[in-house]
Every structure is written in C-alpha cells, then in structure tokens.
Amino acid sequence: MDERKKVIFSGIQPSGNLTIGNYLGALKNWVKLQDEYDCYFCVVDLHAITVRQTPADLRKRTLEVLAIYIGAGIDPEKNTLFIQSHVPAHSECSWLLGCNTYMGELSRMTQYKDKSQKFGDSIGSALFNYPVLMASDILLYNTDLVPVGKDQKQHLELTRDIANRFNNTYSETFKIPEPYIPKAGAKIMSLQEPEKKMSKSDENPNSYILIMDPPDVIRKKVSRAVTDTVGKINYSDEQPGIKNLINILSSIKGITPEEITADYSDKGYAQLKSDVAETIIEELSPLQEKIKNLLADKNYLESIYKTGAEKANYTANKILRKVQKKIGLVPR
C-alpha cells in the first residue's frame, strides 16, 4: 500500500544570482531526493528582504530562482514549489515561535555575528530574527529532512531546539527535523579567498561561479582561481584552493577526492583547472538552456507558484491552527 512519504522542506533566498555553491550544496540533492520524499521547495523572499533589495530586482530574481529549481530538474508536478510570502502562515508562525526563542540563542548564530560585524548598530532586527522564520518554514510542514549546505547546520539545530521546547511546554506538536548535508558539496569556497564560503553576495564576481555564467566566463573564473605554490595536487587543508577545486569535481562527478588526487598524481594545476571548468560547463549547459526557456514563459511559472501556494497554504494552515490553539489563542 501507499505508505505516506516522509517530508522534505528547503529553500533558497532570491537575494542574488545563484552560484554553484547553492547548486552543489542544496539543489543537486533536492533533485536526487525528490522521488523518495514529499517535497516542499520554497523561494524564501521574506528572508531575502532582511537585507535591502531593489523591488524590481527582487521580483525578477524570485521568478529566476523558481525557474532554476525547475530547470535543475525538480519536477513541478510531483513537488510543491512556492513563494514564501504567498503563504502567510510562515510570518504568523514566526511571531509565535519568536515568543519561545531566547535572545541568547539568536545572538550565538554565526551568520548573525558575521553580519552584525559588517553592519554594526544599524543591523536590521529581521536579521537577528531570521532563524525563527526559517524554523517556521520547516516546522509548518511536519518536515522530516532538510537538505542544505553546511552553513545552515546551526540554524537547523536551533530549529530543533525551538521545536523541542515548544513540544515540552505545550505537548507534542512539531516533528523534529533532521539536516541532510552532502559530503562533497557541503561547503564550496570562494575562488578568490578559499578560506571563505562562496557567496552570491560577494563583491568580487571572480570569487563565484553563477549557475547562469556562460562557458567563457566559467573558464576565465576557474583559471583565475587562487591556488598555492606547493605544485602538487593534494586534498589538504594546507592547500584550500586546490581542495576546493577537488570538491567541486568530486561533487559533480560523484567520485571521491582520493580517486581524484590519484588521477592527478602526475598532472599540474593548469590541467586540474581546465578539467574543473569543462566539468562545470558540461553540468550547467543543459540547465541554462531549460532555465532560459522557462523564463520566457511567465504564465507557466505563474501557474506553478499559484498551484504550489494553494497546496502549501493548506498544509501550513493546519499546523498553524494547531499551534495557535495550544498556545491559547481563541479559535477564529
């Protein structure tokens, strides 16, 4: 008989153009897991506005991220694809969970600490509360598994703490979600400063490869990637630039770093870089084609996000009502 599938929830912010970090850390795994799970994939626009966005760009990028989900191979017939702000339960639940979250917990989030260093006193309060909204996203769907890159692990742990606390205070309500973090693509690093995560908001475009970068740009960026003076291809923390290139290759090809270093024992950095560039191009070219076609069909994208929002609203509202009732809010 049709046993009920376990649930996956994940999302990406439309706060910039997506990079191969987003693809290898998250999206590629969503594609792999979609048949086994009941999946909710969300474009988290409310998270993106924790940093000021130009309205027209935000609208454009939100649709681009949706097109990238589909172009990367997420089947919109089988999965629920939607835009976060189209499901008001996320914001509502975020308030309720915020009433059960400590300042201490939120101040310990490394992503917040990094951002507050950058913005100082004028850091927005939403950046502080950001992980509570993320917890709402996840908990509103009785999520079992959250496929994300390593940088989101701490937010996942907080989500689990918030859920456990709520369950202990008000009786069993939320399912406790597990993270799913890939081995090879968990943390793709900047090509220019390989000690730093590759990020779509980096000021230096040579530090990242975008999913939509054309082949010649990919070749140029990879050839300029910072390496070292060791001159031998090892998978080692002492050679973070080379290690990052090996991780990219390993993640796309599905082979281990050890197999790669064995393959390259008598080859140089130039060869590795050229192979990495061609591997990325081969992986992304078919996606880029599909994404471009999807973006030309706004009506189709609209039909996907509208259908998705309907389904997501239905599921999320059921859990939200339960939460409101347990807290003692008078039923409407």
Residue 278: CB minimum distance to ligand TYM, A:
21
| 158: nearest Cα among 108, 84, 88 | 108
Q: Under DSSP, is residue 9 helix (H, G, I), strand (E, B) or coil? A: strand
Which of the residues are catalytic? 115, 197, 200
Residue 41: CB minimum distance to ligand TYM, A:
9
Q: Under DSSP, is residue 171 helix (H, G, I), strand (E, B) or coil? A: coil
294 touches ligand TYM (CB under 6 A): no
The distance between the two most distant Cα atoms of the chain, rounded to a whole number of Å, is 71
148 touches ligand TYM (CB under 6 A): yes
Was 187 annotated as part of a binding site?
A: no
Residue 23: CB minimum distance to ligand TYM, A:
8
Residue 273: CB minimum distance to ligand TYM, A:
19
Q: Interaction with ligand TYM in 3-42: which residues (CB under 6 A)?
A: 9-13, 21-22, 24-26
Tokens of 164: 């456990």
Was 22 annotated as part of a binding site?
A: yes
Residue closer to ligand TYM, measured from CB, 117 or 229: 117
Give the Cβ contact number of residue 96 at 10 Å.
Answer: 17
Tokens of 260: 């790669």
132 touches ligand TYM (CB under 6 A): no
Nearest position to ligand TYM, beta carbon: 25
Residue 64 backbone zone (phi > 0: left; psi -120 to 50: alpha; other: beta): alpha
Q: Interaction with ligand TYM in 186-215: which residues (CB under 6 A)?
A: 186-188, 197-198
Contact of 99 with 129, CB cutoff 8 Å: no
Was 194 annotated as part of a binding site?
A: no
Residue closer to ligand TYM, measured from CB, 12 or 218: 12
Using CB atoms within 10 Å of the CB of residue 270, give its burial: 0 to 12 exposed, 13 to 18 middle, 19+ buried.
exposed
Contact of 1 with 37, CB cutoff 8 Å: no
C-alpha 266 chain-centroid distance: 36
**Half-sphere exposure at residue 276, Cβ-oriented, CA atoms within 13 angstroms:** 30
Q: Write the DSSP symbol of residue 63.
A: H
Q: Which of 17, 79, 152, 288 binds ligand TYM (CB under 6 A)?
A: 152
Q: Interaction with ligand TYM in 155-184: which residues (CB under 6 A)?
A: 155
138 touches ligand TYM (CB under 6 A): yes
44 touches ligand TYM (CB under 6 A): yes
Q: Under DSSP, is residue 41 helix (H, G, I), strand (E, B) or coil? A: strand
Was 240 annotated as part of a binding site?
A: no
Q: Which of 57, 92, 144, 151 binds ligand TYM (CB under 6 A)?
A: 151
Residues 6+ apart with CB under 8 A from 229: none
Contact of 9 with 143, CB cutoff 8 Å: yes
Give the Cβ contact number of residue 86 at 10 Å.
Answer: 17
Q: Which of 8, 97, 132, 134 binds ligand TYM (CB under 6 A)?
A: 134
Residue 47: CB minimum distance to ligand TYM, A:
5
Was 234 annotated as part of a binding site?
A: no
Residue closer to ligand TYM, measured from CB, 151 or 228: 151
Residue closer to ligand TYM, measured from CB, 44 or 245: 44
Residue 332: CB minimum distance to ligand TYM, A:
27
Was 197 annotated as part of a binding site?
A: yes
**How far apart, in whole angstroms, are the C-alpha atoms of residue 17 and residue 210?**
7
Q: What angle do CA 43, 46, 50 make, to 5 degrees?
A: 125
* Residues making up the binding site for L-tryptophan: 137
Q: Which residues contribute to the annotated binding site for ATP?
A: 13-15, 21-22, 149-151, 188, 197-201
Footprint of ligand TYM on this chain (CB under 6 A)?
9-13, 21-22, 24-26, 44, 47, 134, 137-138, 146, 148-149, 151-152, 155, 185-188, 197-198
